[in-house]
Structure formats: structure tokens, C-alpha cells
Amino acid sequence: MEVEGSIKVVFDMQSYASGFTKKEFVVTTKEQYPQDIKLELIKDRTDLIDPYKAGDNVKVHFNLRGNEYNGKYFVNLQAWRIEPLSSGVPETDEGSSLDAGGFPEEPMVSGGAEEDDLPF
């Protein structure tokens, strides 16, 4: 799974007596109704967030984890990869252009009707 957005906050490293370590951070999505999603990095992956700061646009790949403890259920989003996102106009293949909505323009079909590969 993955989520895209800007980093809102990075929390301090948490260390436990067993030697387990984790670092949590929050990503705010870029939707009509933005969501603050808390993710965690565990063990040797805690340093993946170090190159980033609040406000950076990123794509975070994560695994959804759930467990039960003493009759209570918990859900964790364990990040395993973080990629920077450019804040400018999306890059496209050479020679293509973007329409007003930021999507690649469809090539013009010359002569008669457009070919349609939809199954219906």
C-alpha cells in the first residue's frame, strides 16, 4: 500500500528495554478532505525519515499490520520505503503535453470516428 502527501510532523525515536525501536511520523494527504495519517518505522528502518522535514512531499510505501493484546485490537501502518515527490508539474515523456488538468493530452485521431478499445 502507499500514501502520498506532505510530512506534518516527525516524532522522536522510541526505544524499549527489549531493544525494539520505532519512530512515528504523520503524513497529511492532498485530497479534498485532507487526512493526517500516522505511520511508523521500526527497527533498522527508523533512519529512512531522517533526510526529510516537515512540509516535504513524499510517497510512503507501507504494510498494514493488526494484532490483539489482552482483548484489544490494534492497527499499525509500518512504513518500509519513503520517496520524495516533486512539487512542480508532473514530468511526462518527451513530446507529450499536459492538458489544463495536468493530465497527458490524448493524441488527435485523423479522419472519421475515433477508435475505441472499450469492451462495451
Q: Is residue 22 part of a domain?
A: yes
* Total domains in the fold of the chain: 1
- pTM, two decimals, is 0.69
Instruction: Look at residue 10 and tell me if it is in a domain.
Output: yes
Identify the bridge partners of residue 36 per DSSP, sorted by sequence position: 28
The string of DSSP letters for 71-110 reads: TEEEEEEEEEEEEE--SSSPP--TT--B-TTSSBPPPPPP
Decide if 77 is inside a domain: yes
Whole-Å CA distances, 22 to 3, 10, 69, 70: 19, 12, 19, 22
The CATH number assigned to the domain holding 32 equals 2.40.50.140
116 lies in some domain? no
Domain-located, residue 89: no
pLDDT on residue 86:
78
Structural domain of 54: 2-84
* pLDDT range class, residue 114, cuts 50, 70, 90: low
Average pLDDT over residues 52-79: 97
Residue 102 lies in a domain: no
